[in-house]
């Protein structure tokens, strides 16, 4: 997992950019939680500074720093809400064109 300290990172799913991450964003949190293959590709749009966090460090941070745990959960829920909205928008667009 990484914490983006400086710069902008584009997050793409299936070749489509779905988000632009800025300083303070966490990247790779899903993979460190469930060990599944990554679900998106992150590409630096500008020069970036990141800090890597190992699974052991992640566990320690979650255990000892509740604010860090909340930050990761907020990042996950925010991405899920934005993806849900994208799905709703896509379904609305399909129904307009098929109706």
Tell me the CATH number at 72. Answer: 2.60.120.10
Residue 51 near residue 61, CB atoms below 8 Å = no
Local confidence band at 66 (pLDDT 50, 70, 90 cut-offs):
very high
pLDDT tens sequence across 5-38: 999 999 998 888 989 999 999 999 888 888 888 8
Local confidence band at 56 (pLDDT 50, 70, 90 cut-offs):
very high
Q: What is the pLDDT of residue 61?
A: 94
Note down the domain range covering 81: 2-98
| Number of domains making up the chain | 1
Q: What is the pLDDT of residue 58?
A: 94
Local confidence band at 99 (pLDDT 50, 70, 90 cut-offs):
low
Residue 61 near residue 53, CB atoms below 8 Å = yes
Closest by Cα among 73, 62, 75 to 26: 75
pLDDT tens sequence across 31-55: 888 888 888 899 999 999 999 999 9
């Amino acid at each position: 997992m990484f914490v983006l300290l400086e710069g902008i990172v584009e997050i793409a799913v299936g070749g489509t950019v779905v988000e632009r991450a800025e300083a303070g964003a966490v990247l790779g949190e899903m993979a460190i939680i469930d060990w599944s293959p990554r679900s998106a590709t992150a590409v630096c749009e500008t020069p970036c500074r990141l800090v890597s966090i190992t699974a052991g460090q992640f566990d320690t941070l979650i255990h000892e720093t509740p604010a860090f745990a909340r930050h990761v959960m907020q990042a996950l829920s925010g991405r899920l809400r934005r993806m849900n909205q994208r799905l709703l928008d896509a379904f609305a667009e399909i129904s307009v064109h098929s109706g």
